[in-house]
Structure formats: structure tokens, C-alpha cells
Amino acid sequence: MNPKSLLPTIHSPADVKAIEEKDLPLLAEEVRKELISVLSQTGGHLGPNLGVVELTIALHRVFNTPKDKFVFDVSHQGYVHKLLTGRRERFSTIRQYEGLNGFLLRTESEHDCYGAGHAGTALSAALGMAAARDTLGGEEHVICVAGDAAFTCGVSFEALNNLAATTRRLILVLNDNEWSIAKNVGAVAEYLNRIVANPAFAHLHEKAGQFVEWLAGKQARHFAHKVEAGVKNLLAPSVIFEDLGLRYYGPIDGHDIPLLIRTFEFLKTQNEPVILHILTKKGKGYAPALAKPDKFHGLGKFHLGTGETVASAKPTYSELFGKKLADFADHNNKIVAITAAMPSGTGLVNFSKRHPDRCYDVGIAEEHAALFACGLAVGGMKPFLAIYSTFLQRAYDMIIHDIALQNLNVALCMDRAGLSGDDGPTHHGLFDIGYLRPVPGIVHMQAKDEDEFCDMLWTMANYHSGPIAIRYPRGVGTGAEPKKRPSILEIGKAEVLRHGSRAAIIALGTMVELALEAAATLEEEGISTAVINARWIKPLDAATIEFFARGCEVVCTMEDHVLHNGFGCAVMEHLAEQRITTPVVRVGWPDQFIEHGSVPILRKKHGITADAAVGKILTRLQPRVRKAATAA
Ligand SMILES: Cc1ncc(C[n+]2csc(CCOP(=O)(O)OP(=O)(O)O)c2C)c(N)n1
């Protein structure tokens, strides 16, 4: 071990406190090197973590987890916290099956008091912890770390609305790097920029330096009343947070460890809720990440030297979505696209370049996005709302109460539907069939490949009878080349891919490929098997399903979704209502939160494979096979 290496000596936050303060910048440098080197192999949220290295070191220097509570919004920036809380030796396993999760998890460490993956949850949860502490008479500190984009979430403001009335002691760190995944948008971003651009701020760094010098060596706790005057010199005028009852401090340099330490020492003595506005650089310390903050927000493996990633040869579903929608919009001026802070993730960058006046990035505001789409639809537009399946969960009430109840022409485009893989349970899109199935009147579909996906998008563009939804997976599918001219599909009509007389596999979306594989295996065993590409989750193709169920000995459904209230349930319900008693076996995700890991590993583990379908079908066929053999 290099005698100067500090990071290998860190096994818990106590070790961070044992390092001489002058050496902490060295520790920060080592943390950065570790992040860059490991993530070049595993992928992950590099930029956000490079931006919070000094902040996290300072927090662990001043506070004591697990007693004190750190609540990180989204928690994608929690890697540094992991490195400092006893997880360094396992850090190279991050985002891999059975390795560390890419977000904070209560089950992973006692230092993770709150798990997350979705944005905007931290402040409310932190406030709850502060309220519990106040009620139970605890002494711990609660510190919430939230990025500037977290303040584009309505729920963050709901928490702010309650904060001052609920507790006298909570520290909110606003980590302002001006970026969401893309550049942060809207009035909040502009407001924060105005604070930073205030001329008073120009002198802040100088003042901050003097203040830290003055404070050096003193115990902030004992000098609180004097210190307050000192810290107040660090204030730039800000109205909104003060008006909401939080004492505002900042903005200060979020990469200045001594300044952060002194400021936290002071803030923890305060008997009022406070917000500390820090300025950081997303991607600090790695030139490719500084150059492309959006790309390095979260990415797969990359080349350490150049930051280059390997692009897939075929366009992803998201890219096709953006491209095709832009093509359709060329000839239809009613089409508009909405993203909730995910222009690149949803493929809408292409659309926004071609139709800048018809593309809206509303920030991390899925509820607003859904309602905004309603208004656009009322106004005669055809809004395409592109939101990941997992994030659309947040707008569920809007789907029922606003979009569906009023039968508005809103197209819901659910990207990352199905298992999302290495991001883990916060990001798997495994619930959208379940949450959309009970919604009256909605049309819901999934394509077997990219060509059919484009037909479905075209069908959506030409559908004017109310809400219509599509789910599609992350990345590339079979790679089927889309036709030059897409076709309009008949709603509620499945596609029979092969006929068969003993087993019928009714598969949805990406599962069709596996169904064909399973059927080929069964045919080899002499079992005639039909494969139906379901296409429609709602309405089901009742006639086709009934026909095959009546004609076969077993029906097998396959879906990249939880079994509970999934596509297979819809088929079973329908058959039961028709009193068709053919046994149904189902392939889909079990009734549990699925861990993180690669899609092939997790599919194998949980039985979302062609082999699993074959096995399930055989268990239902064997008794009859045996009977037939005995008769002969
Ligand atoms: C509800 C929800 N919508 C979208 C996302 C996707 N997402 C993850 S991080 C992020 C941006 C976060 O920006 P900020 O809070 O400023 O933190 P930074 O990454 O800049 O540190 C977004 C949009 C999410 N996690 N949750």
C-alpha cells in the first residue's frame, strides 16, 4: 500500500475524522480516482458523485452516522458516502448482481437511513425523521442533501411548505450544479442563477476565507452567537427560502472542505431549520465529464482516457421514438412532446432539435407533465408524454382523474418498461400493466420489435378516441428494421405467429422472441405449439385468446412485468369469465422487489426464459402425454 494513500485506511466515518484536516483534499483526490476508475468498468452516476466528494467528506467529518441521518435525494450521488462508510472494498461490485446497489439502500448499510432512486423524496422523509426525533426527544441531526433539480419536483415544495411549522432543527443542503440530467430548467433554475449572479456573491469567497480563518481552531458550538454574525456575512440576499421559514446561508463553494466543515459546525448549533446553498461542478476532476455533464450523469462502461462509450449499432427504442415522432410531427402540427427532465433518456433530444417549439422539458415534474398534457389535449393538441414506466407511477392520480376520466387524447409513452437491470428495484418498469389495467377506457400495448413499435407509434398518432399508452424496453430489441411507411394497427387484434394444437404461448413485447424459442424446443419434442404476439394488453384480443385456449391443452402467457395484475392475469380473468377451463401457466416476475443485476442473470434466476416457459408447459402436458401413452 502506498504509505500516502488515505482511502484504504477508511473503514468507517470515524477514520475520516482521524485524518488531519490538511490531508482531506488528498483524500478527495483519491476518492475521485477511485470513482473514475471503478465506474469506467461498471458504469454508473459518475458526474453527480464527482461533484459531491468534498461535501460528503465534510459531512462525515462533522456529523456521526448512523446516529445522525443523511438523506440524499435520488441517492444517485451516494457513492462517496458508500466509500466512506465501510463499503470501499466492495465498491468495484457496484451495480452488479449481488454487489453494491447504485443507490442507497436501508438493507445495505446502517449508514443508509433512507433508500431512494426517484427524485424529490428526500426533504419530506428527512422532515419526518426530524419530527420523530423531536417527539421522542432525540439529539441526532438530520441533514438532507438535494440537487437543484430536486426543487423542480412539486413534492420538494410540499415539504418546504411544512418544514418550519414541523421542526426547529433540520439542515437542508442545496447542491447547486446547474444541471439536472440535462441543463436544469424553469423558473427555479433561473432563480438560483440570479442568487449566484448577485454582485454580493462576488465577494463571498474572499469573505468566506476570512471567516474560516477567524473561526479556525475554535469550537463553533461554543461561539455560536459570535459565529452567527460571521456566517451572516456569507449571505447573499435570498427571499424565497427565508419566506418559507428556513434561514438561508450561501451560496458557498461546495469544493472548499475547510469552509464546508466550519459552516456545518456552525449550522449544527442552530435552533431553526436552515438551508445551505453550495455551488459545485458536476464531473469535477474528470475532463470528459466536465465537458459533457449530461452524458456523464449516468452511463455505462467508458474508456478511462477518452471517456468514450460504445454506442449500439442499432438505434434503441428511445432513439427510434424521438426520431419517428419528429417525422410524424413534420406533417402534423398538433403533435407535441413532453419530457420530465429526461430529454436524452427518452430520445426527445432529436425531436426538440427538429421541433423546438413543440417540445417541453418540464423538469422532474411527472404530475405536472401529465396535467399539462391534459391541457394541451383540451386545447386541441396531440401530446406524447414520454416518461419512464417507473417514474409515471408518480402521476397515477392524473392518469385516472384527469386523462382517463375526461377521455383526453393523451399518448403515454412508457420507456424502460420491463426490467431495467443494473439500476435495480427503484428503476424496474415492472408495474405499469398493473396500474393501467384497471383504468377504464385506456388502450395499452407493447410491440414485439422495433418495426412493430413504429407501427404502434403511428397508430397512436392517428388515434383520437382518448388515452392510449405504449410500453417499451430499455435499449435495442430484436433490431428489426422499421418499414419506410408505418402501418396503422387494428386495436385489440393480436398477431398469430405460428399455429399449434397442443400448447399456445401468448407473449407480450420482448417476450415474443422467447416464446418462439420455447415453441421451437417444444416442437422438437413433438408438441405442436402456437405462438401469439399479443400486442394489446387492453383491450385484449378476446377472440384469438379464446380460440387457442379452447383448442389447446395449455395456455402459457409471457410478460416482462410482475405476474400480479399483469398481462397473464388479464388472460386468466378473461378465460375464467368465459368458463374456459384450459390451464394457464404464466411466465413473469414474481411478487417481490427484484434486485439489481444484468438482465440475463436476473431473467435466469427468476425464470423469465424460454426454458422456464417450456418447463411450465410440460408440467401441464405430461399427465395427458402419459395417458395417451398408456392408452396406446
Ligand atoms: C421522479 C423521478 N423522475 C426522474 C428521475 C431521473 N433523474 C435521476 S437524477 C435526475 C436529475 C437530478 O438532478 P439534481 O437533483 O440536480 O442532482 P445532480 O444529479 O445534479 O446532482 C433525474 C431527472 C428520477 N430519479 N426520479
Gap from CA of 341 to ligand 1 centroid (Å): 8
Residue 316 has pLDDT above 90, yes or no: yes
At 541 the three-state DSSP class reads: coil
- Total-model pTM: 0.94
Gap from CA of 346 to ligand 1 centroid (Å): 14
| Residue showing cell 426547529 | 168
Name the active-site residue from 247, 394, 471, 535: 394
> Would you say the CB of residue 562 lies under 6 angstroms from ligand 1?
no
* Per-residue burial over 548-585, b = 16 or more CB atoms within 10 Å of its CB, e = otherwise: bbeebbbbbbbbbbbbebbbbbbbbebbeeeeeebbbb
Name the active-site residue from 32, 262, 282, 295: 282
CB 77 within 8 A of CB 277: no
Determine which residue's CA is closest to atom 19 belonging to ligand 1. Answer: 48
Residue 203 has pLDDT above 90, yes or no: no
> Would you say the CB of residue 87 lies under 6 angstroms from ligand 1?
no
Dihedral, CA atoms, 582, 588, 592, 597, nearest 10 degrees?
160
Supply φ then ψ for residue 482, to 5 degrees: -65, 145
Gap from CA of 150 to ligand 1 centroid (Å): 7
Average pLDDT, integer, range 612-628: 78
**Given CA atoms 462, 465, 466, 471 in this order, what sign does their dihedral have?**
negative
CB 132 within 8 A of CB 167: no
Q: Give the separation between CA 538 and CA 597, rounded to whole angstroms.
A: 30
> Would you say the CB of residue 288 lies under 6 angstroms from ligand 1?
no
What are the tens digits of pLDDT across the range 236-273?
A: 555 689 999 999 998 999 999 999 999 999 999 999 99
69 flagged as catalytic: no
> Would you say the CB of residue 392 lies under 6 angstroms from ligand 1?
no
Mutate which of 177, 181, 342, 389 for ligand 1? The one with the most ligand atoms within 8 Å of its CB, which is 181
Nearest atom of ligand 1 to the alpha carbon of 47: 19
What are the tens digits of pLDDT across the range 365-395?
A: 999 999 999 999 999 999 999 999 999 999 9
* Per-residue burial over 228-266, b = 16 or more CB atoms within 10 Å of its CB, e = otherwise: eebbeebbbebeebeebebbbbbbbbbbbbbbbbbbbbb
Gap from CA of 187 to ligand 1 centroid (Å): 17
Q: Give the separation between CA 514 and CA 613, rounded to whole angstroms.
A: 9
Any residues with CB less than 8 A from the CB of 563 and at least 6 apart, and which? 569, 586, 588, 589, 590, 591
> Would you say the CB of residue 78 lies under 6 angstroms from ligand 1?
no
Gap from CA of 149 to ligand 1 centroid (Å): 6
Provide the β-strand partners of residue 385: 338, 412
Residue 127 has pLDDT above 60, yes or no: yes
Average pLDDT, integer, range 311-322: 94
Q: Chain-wide mean pLDDT for the chain?
A: 93
What is residue 197's predicted lDDT score, i.e. its pLDDT? 84
Mutate which of 179, 295, 364 for ligand 1? The one with the most ligand atoms within 8 Å of its CB, which is 364
158 flagged as catalytic: no
Residue 223 has pLDDT above 50, yes or no: no
> Cis bond leading into 440, ω under 30°?
no
> Would you say the CB of residue 374 lies under 6 angstroms from ligand 1?
no
Average pLDDT, integer, range 550-561: 98
> Would you say the CB of residue 121 lies under 6 angstroms from ligand 1?
no
Gap from CA of 184 to ligand 1 centroid (Å): 10
**Helices 24-42, 257-267: crossing angle, 10 deg rounding:** 100
Determine which residue's CA is closest to atom 25 belonging to ligand 1. Answer: 118
> Would you say the CB of residue 76 lies under 6 angstroms from ligand 1?
yes
Gap from CA of 21 to ligand 1 centroid (Å): 32
CB 142 within 8 A of CB 129: yes
Nearest atom of ligand 1 to the alpha carbon of 117: 25
> Would you say the CB of residue 147 lies under 6 angstroms from ligand 1?
yes
Gap from CA of 386 to ligand 1 centroid (Å): 16
Question: Which range among 6-10, 211-215, 407-411, 522-526 shows the weakest confidence by mean pLDDT?
Answer: 211-215
366 flagged as catalytic: yes
Q: Give the separation between CA 94 and CA 298, rounded to whole angstroms.
A: 13
Nearest atom of ligand 1 to the alpha carbon of 175: 21
Supply φ then ψ for residue 560, to 5 degrees: -95, 75
What is residue 231's predicted lDDT score, i.e. its pLDDT? 57
C-alpha cell at 181: 440530467
Nearest atom of ligand 1 to the alpha carbon of 148: 16
What are the tens digits of pLDDT across the range 279-311?
A: 999 999 999 999 999 999 999 999 999 999 988
Determine which residue's CA is closest to atom 4 belonging to ligand 1. Answer: 364
> Would you say the CB of residue 149 lies under 6 angstroms from ligand 1?
yes
Helix or strand (DSSP H, E) at 250? strand 247-253
What are the tens digits of pLDDT across the range 471-506?
A: 999 999 999 999 999 999 999 999 999 999 999 999
What is residue 3's predicted lDDT score, i.e. its pLDDT? 55
Mutate which of 74, 144, 342, 414 for ligand 1? The one with the most ligand atoms within 8 Å of its CB, which is 74
